[in-house]
Structure 1
C-alpha cells in the first residue's frame, strides 16, 4: 500500500500547477515544480502539505489579498480531498493580519477538503473573535461549514495542537454545539459527538451536565449523546450509564467464558463466547464490552476497550454471546508476541478474564 504522503507526488503537482497556469499565464510552473519537489522524499504527509504552502508563496502575487484572489480563482480546478488543504494552510500561514477576510476564505475553502486545522491558528490568535464567527457558521446552510464550526473548535482535534483555553473553559463552544445538536446530517453529528467526547478526558462533569439537558427523545440528539458518551460508558461511569437507562452495577452472572484457541499467531482469529444470566428482580438494560490488554514493544500491557452488545434481560433470563476478532496489524496498532489478557465487562465492571498467547 502506497504511503499517504504520496498524495503529494509529481503527478499531483503537475495537475496542481496546470490549474494555476489556467488562471495566470505568468505562473512559473517549472520553477514551482523544481522547488516543491526538492528533497520531497524526506518529508512526511503534513511536511509536504506545509512545504507546498511555503513554496507557493514565492510564486503568487506579493500581497496577501492578491494571492488570495488567485487561490479563489484556481480552487474550482484543484483536486478535492486532503491535498486541497493547501488552500486553508496558506491562509493560516499568511492571513493572520486580515482576520475577517481569512476566516471567510476558510469558510469558503472548507467544502473542498476541510479548514479544520487552519482555523485553529485563528482561534489561538483571537479566541473571542474566531468563536463569534464560528457561532454563525453553526447556522450555515452548507453542511461542510456547519461541521467546521464544531470540528475546528474541538479541544483535542487529532493531528493538531490542543486548544487549552477551551479545555480550561469548555462552555466557550457550548453555543456552537447547542445549535448543532439536532443536525440532520450525520457528518455534522459525528463531529459534535467527537467534540463532546474530547471533554471526557478533561471535563467529565461538564459533559454529563450538558448531555443531561439535551432532549433524548430527538433521534438525532440521542445519537450524538450516545456517541459523545462512548468513552465514559466504556469506563463504566455511573452518570453516563444512567443517561441511557443502564444504571450502575447490575446483578448478573457471567459463566462459561471460553476461547476457541488460546495460542494464536498474526492473522489468526480470536474467538470467544460466554453466557450472561440476570439475577435482577426486574428487566434491566446492560451494556456489554470487552477489553484486550495488548503486549507493548517494550513489555508491559496496553488496554483497549471494544464495544460488544447492548442487552435487556428479564429476571433469570440468560443470553449466549460470541465474538470473533482477527489479530492483524494496523497503522494504529502493531502486535507483539507474549501473553495477552481478555476481559468481559458489564456496565463497565470486569466480570471475567482469560488469557491467550500470541
Structure 2
C-alpha cells in the first residue's frame, strides 16, 4: 500500500512567505491521498474542488475552517465515522517536542473539523460525540496540537472538558500534558478566548499546580505562559501563586516563575520585580 503523505514545509516562518501557504494545494492533495487510502469510496476530486474554491484570500485559520467544511461535505455524515477515518490517516506521533518545523500544520484542518463538528449530536445521528471528539483531540495533539480545538469544548461543555484535561495530567506523552495547560489558557494567541476562565481562572489552577514541576520544559513553558495570561486579568492571584511556588523551588520552577511575571515586570510592577528577583532574576 502507498504510504501516507505529509506536505513539505520550512522549519520556521519565512520572510515574504505568509504562513497561510502551509495550507495550500499540496496540503489538500496530501489529505485527499491519505483519506482515499483508508476510505476507498472517498470522492477525492470533489473534496479537492471544494477545498480549493475561494481559498486564495483566506488566512491560515480561515483556511483550516474552509478545508474542514470540505471534509464535512465529502466524508460520512456521521461525525464518529468521519473522525475515525481521519484518525486512521495519522502519521506516527511526534517523539520530540522541539525541531518539529511547520509541516505539523498539516493537521490544523483535522483539529478544526473536530472543533466544528464534534460538539453537537446533530452531526452524529443524535448520539453524544464527546468521547469520540476527545479521543481525536488526544491523538491529534500528539502530532500537532489540539490547543485550538479543545477551546470550543471548554466554552460550551466546561465541566466535562475540564475533567478530561485533568485525566490527562499524568499521561506519559508531554504533548498531551502540555495540552492540559496550553489548551486552557484564557488568552491563548491565535486561539479563541475563554470568557469563563478570564473571569475566574481558579478552576484551572490545579492543572498548573500539577504541571509546574513537569520534567519537560515544553510543558513547564506552557505553565509559565498560562500563569502569565492569568496575570493580565488577575495579577494579585498570579503573584500569590508565584510567591507560594517560590518556597523550596528548584531552578526549573524558578524559571517558570520568572517567565510567568516577565510582562508585568517589564511594565515596572513592583511585586513582579520582587518575585523575579527572588526567583533568581535581575
TM category, shorter: 0.7 to 0.9
Q: Does 1:88 align with 2:119?
A: no
Whether contact under 8 Å (2:261, 2:276) holds in the other structure is: no
Instruction: Tell me how large the CA RMSD over aligned residues is.
Output: 2.0
Q: Does 1:28 align with 2:51?
A: no
TM, length-normalised to structure 2: 0.83
Number of residues paired by the alignment?
Answer: 250
Higher helix share: 2
CA distance, structure 2, for counterparts of residue 21 and residue 100 of structure 1: 25
CA distance, structure 2, for counterparts of residue 113 and residue 130 of structure 1: 19
For 2:140, the equivalent position in structure 1 comes to 109
CA distance, structure 2, for counterparts of residue 131 and residue 218 of structure 1: 28
Whether contact under 8 Å (1:156, 1:163) holds in the other structure is: yes
Q: Does 1:237 align with 2:269?
A: yes
**Radius of gyration: which is bigger?**
1
Deviation at 1:76, TM superposition (A): 2.1
Q: Does 1:180 align with 2:211?
A: yes
In the TM superposition, 1:237-276 aligns within 5 A as: 237-245=269-277
| Larger RCO, structure (CA 8 Å, separation 6 or more) | 2
Greater than 3 Å deviation, 4+ residue runs: 77-80, 244-247
For 2:201, the equivalent position in structure 1 comes to 170
Whether contact under 8 Å (2:34, 2:89) holds in the other structure is: yes
Higher strand share: 1
Residue-by-residue CA offset, 1:267-297 (whole Å, 9 max, x unaligned):
xxxxxxxxxxxxxxxxxx9x7xxxxxxxxxx
| Structure 2 unaligned residues grouped into runs of 5+ | 1-15, 94-101, 122-128
For 1:194, the equivalent position in structure 2 comes to 225
CA distance, structure 2, for counterparts of residue 150 and residue 80 of structure 1: 23
For 1:58, the equivalent position in structure 2 comes to 73
Deviation at 1:80, TM superposition (A): 4.8
1:219 aligned to which of 216, 233, 251: 251
CA distance, structure 1, for counterparts of residue 92 and residue 166 of structure 2: 30
Whether contact under 8 Å (1:85, 1:113) holds in the other structure is: yes
Q: Cα distance 1:77–1:245, how it changes in 2: closer, same or farther (>3 A)? A: closer
CA distance, structure 2, for counterparts of residue 242 and residue 44 of structure 1: 41
For 2:5, the equivalent position in structure 1 comes to none
